[in-house]
Chain A
Amino acid sequence: MTEQLHQITVTVNGVTRRGETPARRLLADFLRMDLGLTGTHLGCEHGVCGACTVLLDDVPVRSCLIFAVSVDGHAITTVEGCCDPGGELGPVQQAFQECHGLQCGFCTPGFITTITAYLEENPKPTEEEAREAIGGNLCRCTGYQNIVAAVLRAAEIKSEREAPHE
């Protein structure tokens, strides 16, 4: 049986992308294989690890638990889109670098997207809130201490960058 293909149009990191996808293709695989955006990582493929988290219309979701065909017409932000407009590291990426918030880096894209969205909702989290915010993302290297520090540092960098210039 040849699988039926569905035409979809999605806006990924601000760019309109078109593709043809079988119904069963996961959004994560569509991003990685069809669009070549390999920043989104697939860990567990059943919604536990959080590595594949992307923003769907600015809201964090597991891209391993959504079919590409379901997001036709919607906007996706991946880790590749979490940088600043000029291409420099975004506040969360910068904070991860400064705080040594990653080691192997496999889980990092899911953390970056999750925290980027979270800081829009809560721009000044406490340490406890920061821990809760990353509760759905697993990291096997760091022990989380530096990731929590990175959340708090990212909030600082973000507010500095958003402050009106003198």
Chain B
Amino acid sequence: MKPPPVEYHGPDTVDEAVRLLAEHGGHAKVLAGGQSLVPMLNMRLTAPARLIDVNRLDELAYVRTDLEGVRVGALARHADVERATHAFEAVPLLRQAVRTVAHPTIRNRGTTVGSLVHADPCAEMPAVLLLLDGEVLLRSERAGERVVKAADFFVGPMESACEEDELAVEAYFPKPKGRTGTDWRELSRRNGDYAMCGVGTAVRVDESGAVTSAKAVYIGVGPVPQVVDVTAAGADWDAAAEHAADQLDPEDDIHATAEYRRHLARVLTARSLKAAYEAVAP
């Protein structure tokens, strides 16, 4: 239960970090908050030859909000995202979801961008990025800067589109268009654990209150977060939830059966859509 020997680099600038990744990419892991990586090291589930610690890159410790949305730098902790009132006002789903990421002590250290790159199928922030059609900005010496859309970023369980020599520099969470309400809810066995099923929703209405768009995103029920469009059901939340649950293909595991997860998805979806709708309905 102690990490294996590893060589350590603590770059002071993004340029230096990217250069180190170019040199050692295949044998190095980026260490940001470490709330997923260090447990894996402690349990010796992974043994990279080198760690590139980005905790000195203060230039990436930002949560910025503009008219378009929220930009989260690679060193912004979950707690920074949670506390940023400007980010909550622009994209309420960020705070709604990040509050359910583990416990406050973990959120004080874990980073939102790190969670995206880690791509745990039970993690909240990848699902938020996907539901909002967000993007991740990657940088390497080889490819320079490139932007990857959320839909292309989550490749498989614990696998993102971030290549071995790339540093994920920033995540962009666009502000939902028009009059859109959002909601996040999930169920876990114990407070702060990974959810057996989590649901995020975004419901857009017109001036009369009619639903013009309704989408739900799921975690814990598949290898990557999954979005289901339920606009066709209008404001019939139970029908929308039924439709969405039919699209999911959860698996049995030690925490819950597939059938129970599907049941949770159905119940949570109906409640979540209703709450998202009521946040903006006239």
Are B53 and A70 closer than 8 Å at their CB atoms?
A: yes
Say whether, besides A45-B42, A47-B106, A69-B8, A136 and B192 are in contact (CB < 8 Å): yes
Say whether, besides A61-B105, A135-B103, A136-B105, A46 and B7 are in contact (CB < 8 Å): no
Q: Does B109 contact A (CB under 8 A)?
A: yes
Within 8 A of B (CB), among A18-65: 22-24, 26, 29, 45-47, 50, 53, 56, 59-62, 64-65
Say whether, besides A23-B51, A66-B34, A66-B38, A50 and B105 are in contact (CB < 8 Å): yes
Q: Does A6 contact B (CB under 8 A)?
A: yes
Task: Give Cα A62 to B3, complex, Å.
Answer: 15
Task: Give Cα A3 to B38, complex, Å.
Answer: 19
Task: Give Cα A22 to B2, complex, Å.
Answer: 12
Main secondary structure of the interface of B (DSSP, over half): loop
Task: Give Cα A60 to B34, complex, Å.
Answer: 15
Q: Does A1 contact B (CB under 8 A)?
A: yes
Task: Give Cα A66 to B191, complex, Å.
Answer: 23
Q: Which listed residue, B8, B10, B35, B192, touches A135 by the CB 8 Å rule?
A: B192
Within 8 A of A (CB), among B77-123: 79, 102-106, 108-109
Which 10 pairs, one residue from A and one from B, show the smallest C-beta to C-beta distance? A136-B103, A23-B8, A46-B39, A24-B3, A65-B38, A45-B1, A60-B105, A61-B109, A136-B105, A59-B108
- Residues of chain A at the chain B interface (Cβ within 8 Å): 1, 3-4, 6, 22-24, 26, 29, 45-47, 50, 53, 56, 59-62, 64-67, 69-70, 72, 114, 133, 135-136
